[in-house]
Structure 1
Amino acid sequence: MIAIETKLKGCFVLEPQIFYDNRGYFFESFNLNIFKSLTGVDINFVQDNESRSSRGVLRGLHYQKGEYAQAKLVRVIEGAVLDVAVDLRRNSKTFGEYFSVELTEENKKQLFIPRGFAHGFLVLSKEAKFSYKCDNFYNKESEGGIIYNDVSLNIDWLMNDSELIISEKDKKLPNLNTVKI
């Protein structure tokens, strides 16, 4: 496995070593010792989540705040998504900046998103099965979000607004400049 730190400090793209043969493939999707040695991050994942969504579904941009802040390790099991992380750490040089990467069942890349970030993804394939590990438990009272089309972020979602399927809740999320993190 290799780990590539993005322009957002502490946010890494992980590329596994995949072993193919006539039976199919094998790869190690997570190994704490290797993860720690490559990233310097000591983590204890406590919750795994999975979703299935169809083309055009945009989930995000979400985060947990305070004592329930979460780091996430995300990947695609089936299909393809555009995955986006936004730095919400006020003291960071990259506050308000985003990083995006295509995660697919073919490339098997993963994105590690540290605490203090918002996260969202858009399904690019007909359907996608998305999986993520969290280092803290979800708490409804601690959830927050930023509207996907915030002009200060200027995220290129690779699709027109008319193609997007967004929950009513996510359509009402505030802009970054009005959020108390």
Structure 2
Amino acid sequence: MKISALQGSELLLCEPELLTDPRGLFAEAWRESLLNDAVGHSVHFVQESFSVSRQYVIRGLHYQLNPPQAKLIRVISGEIFDVAVDLRPDSTHFGRSYAVPLQAKDRQLLFIPAGFAHGFQVLSAEAEVQYKVSAYYDAPSDRALLWNDPQLAIAWPYPAQAILSDKDKNAPTLVQAELFGTGL
């Protein structure tokens, strides 16, 4: 598996080695030890969820305060524009957003460290997205950032067609958001 930093950040793009033969293909989707080596510390995933969304849907930008979650994102079908925002107060990249298109056909995974908000917009007619997370979901700690906060300057592919939940439409801006403590 090839693991590389995305846009000079701590986000990691994981590209499995595809072994093909006349029967089809086989790949190791991820290996904990390789990811831990690339991250520089142990990351253990405890929960896996998935979503199915139609074209133009934006899910996010979501994060969890306590405990913060590292995420491993994979597109099972379709294509998305994936976004992560650094919310670690002591980070030199605080408030910076990172974006990458992810397609099922490429079979890539995106690792997002704890302390980031995450969201995506569906580019294909429909997309199924799978998430591994390092901490169990905790509803009282669930938070969101406003998807189109001008301070974040995210270049969403289809902002005029965006389909959002009420929670995401009414989320606070970065300046208004409740953030993590230091030490992430």
Q: TM-score, normalised by structure 1?
A: 0.94
Counterpart of 2:14?
A: 14
Note the residue ranges of structure 1 that are not aligned, 5 or more in a row: none
Q: CA deviation at 1:171?
A: 0.3
Aligned length: 179
Q: CA deviation at 1:37?
A: 2.4
Counterpart of 2:33?
A: 33
Quote the RMSD (CA, aligned, Å).
1.2
Partner Cα distance (2:97, 2:14) in 1 = 17
Listed as ranges, the matches of 1:63-78 within 5 Å are 63-66=63-66, 68-78=67-77
Partner Cα distance (1:107, 1:41) in 2 = 27
Identity %: 40
Counterpart of 1:5?
A: 5
Distance 1:41 1:9, change over 3 A: farther
Partner Cα distance (2:41, 2:105) in 1 = 26
Residue by residue, what CA displacement relative to the aligned partner does 1:120-148 show, whole Å, maximum 9, x if unpaired?
01110011110010000001100111010
Distance 1:41 1:80, change over 3 A: farther
Counterpart of 1:175?
A: 173
Please say if residues 8 and 99 of structure 1, whose CA atoms lie closer than 8 Å, have aligned partners that are also in contact. Answer: no
Q: CA deviation at 1:8?
A: 6.0
> Is 2:152 the partner of 1:127?
no
Note the residue ranges of structure 2 that are not aligned, 5 or more in a row: 180-184
Please say if residues 8 and 87 of structure 1, whose CA atoms lie closer than 8 Å, have aligned partners that are also in contact. Answer: no
Listed as ranges, the matches of 1:24-103 within 5 Å are 24-66=24-66, 68-103=67-102
Residue by residue, what CA displacement relative to the aligned partner does 1:62-116 show, whole Å, maximum 9, x if unpaired?
00003x2100000101000011000001111111101111111111111111111
AA aligned opposite 1:52: V
Which stretch of the first structure deviates more once superposed, 71-80 or 2-11? Answer: 2-11
